[in-house]
Chain A
Amino acid sequence: DADVTQTPRNRITKTGKRIMLECSQTKGHDRMYWYRQDPGLGLRLIYYSFDVKDINKGEISDGYSVSRQAQAKFSLSLESAIPNQTALYFCATSGDFESSYNEQFFGPGTRLTVL
């Protein structure tokens, strides 16, 4: 089984709808991240969490919110989806800095289309 899983893998929705993307991991990592990827722009950080009680905004958090339900689960919500949020979304995890120098492990991605 994959260490980092994302659901759904693909989603098409309409402008104004609320969408939740879910991420689960079995690596036992405390640190979890949400990124979006757009063609030609690489990965941009949306939110990150260093443990269950810690939530931090990333580079492009506007229009998004997150919930860290447990060490293994980190959800990303689009409160009111808009077309420019059409992108490929990745969840990632990492161990603590001392043990892993922050190597990240990525999920397979969720392709979101907002019409």
Chain B
Amino acid sequence: SQQGEEDPQALSIQEGENATMNCSYKTSINNLQWYRQNSGRGLVHLILIRSNEREKHSGRLRVTLDTSKKSSSLLITASRAADTASYFCATDASGGSYIPTFGRGTSLIVHP
């Protein structure tokens, strides 16, 4: 069963706009990761945020984590057509075996 659930399931925006995706989870976590998947390809790690961190940046990516609400958001600023992909959050439950559990993903389409 999925620990993390992304919202929205699908997002369509114009190039240059910001894209925000959210992830909610159910139990306490060690860390939360975001991955990207281009159509039919393997997932690629984007960023990891630890449970004691609140915000992290990597290039045009900004991730926030609110452990009190059990939620995270991924913001992609100034989106490009090449950002078109599916984005997954993966949570690593506290006290577990440190195996990430993936959500169902958000499908992002960026129109040129």
Contacts and interface: CB of A to CB of B under 8 A. Distances in A.
Contact of B100 (A90, A104, A108): A104
B99 A45 contact: yes
16 contacts: A42-B102, A44-B102, A90-B42, A97-B98, A101-B30, A101-B31, A101-B48, A102-B31, A102-B92, A102-B100, A103-B33, A103-B45, A106-B42, A109-B40, A109-B41, A111-B40
Interface residues of B, number: 26
Contacts of A4: 42
Which DSSP category, helix, strand, loop or mixed, fits chain A's interface? strand
A93 B31 CA distance: 17
Interface of A: 4, 33, 35, 40-45, 48, 56, 59, 88, 90, 92, 97, 101-109, 111
Contacts of A42: 2, 88, 102-105
Nearest to A33: B99
Interface of B: 1-2, 30-31, 33, 35, 40-45, 48, 50, 88, 90, 92, 97-105
Nearest to B31: A101
